[in-house]
Amino acid sequence: MARKKVTLQYIANDSTRRGTFKKRLRGLMKKAGELAILCDVKTCVLVYGEGEPAPEVFPSHAKAAAILTRFRSMPELGQCKNKMNQAGFLTQRIDKLRDQVDKSRRECRDREIKVLLHRAMLGALPGLAGLTIEELTSVGWKVD
């Protein structure tokens, strides 16, 4: 698996975009299939590629139509409770990421301070030279 980071932005290069579309479409349909079988649930996916009138459908036109009919027949609330579109989805992921970043930062600082504290305790930092005010205060708190 090529583990490159891809920025979430419309791919400008035409041929790259088309290639990516094909690849990711295949992957998406595969994932949908796995979900359906593993969890024994009704799943359907519709994809309208750029400038393509006909959609790519999982599992099949007929089966998807049936699933969507059932979906539509649900009371509005049932449909809406877990409805997502791009904006909502992104916002949710962004919040999650923010929390992860904050948590990571805190853990990181914690470790760094711990190391500093112990070095100080072992006399490796005579006069605590070279520490910034921030580091000093953090170490001080840690002692308490």
Partner 1 sequence: MATATATAPRRRASMGRQKIEIRKIESEEARQVCFSKRRAGLFKKASELAVLCGAEVAAVVFSPAGKAFSFGHPSVEAILDRFVPSAAQHPGAVVAGAGLGAAGDRNLAELNRQYGELRTQLEAEKARKERAEEAMAKERAAGNQMAAWLDADLRDMGEEELMAFAAALVEVQAAVSERANQVLQEALNVGR
Cα–Cα distance measured from residue 44 to residue 57, given in angstroms and rounded to the nearest whole number: 7
By C-beta, is 2 or 82 nearer to partner 1?
A: 82
Give me 70's structure tokens.
């059932």
State in angstroms the smallest separation of the CB of 2 from partner 1: 14
Dihedral, CA of residue 38, residue 39, residue 42 and residue 43, to nearest 10: -60
- Amino acid letter for position 105: R
State in angstroms the smallest separation of the CB of 32 from partner 1: 6
By C-beta, is 2 or 5 nearer to partner 1?
A: 5
State in angstroms the smallest separation of the CB of 94 from partner 1: 6
